[in-house]
Structure 1
Amino acid sequence: MDDLVAQVRADLTAAMRARDRATAAVLRTTLGAVADAEAVPAPDPVTGRSRAP
């Protein structure tokens, strides 16, 4: 997974340098989705337990 994220970051840098706004937006969204998927679930504010399934 780290190789994929590194490649997407490199592609994002290239898209920004090329001023390709559409591609940069897609790559930013992709990186955000990966970060969200890897995030630790927040605890439930009432029970204090993890909300993970």
Structure 2
Amino acid sequence: MVSANVKFIKSNVNTVSGIVISVSAYIVMISGYVNAVPVNVNTISAYANSL
């Protein structure tokens, strides 16, 4: 009975850590996009100015 509970807890911990890892990956990806936006805006405005 106890070992079943320990296995259940371990699987939950693995699931939670997987969720945390994927969420942090999303946050990194989103921050990368946010950082890329001003660069793109600058590139587009420079291109528009050169026309």
Give yes or no for TM over 0.5: no
Query: Comparing both chains, which one has the higher relative contact order based on Cα–Cα distances under 8 Å and sequence gaps of 6 or more?
Result: 1
Structure ranking higher in helix proportion: 2
TM, length-normalised to structure 1: 0.40
TM, length-normalised to structure 2: 0.41
Between Structure 1 and Structure 2, whose CA radius of gyration is higher?
A: 2
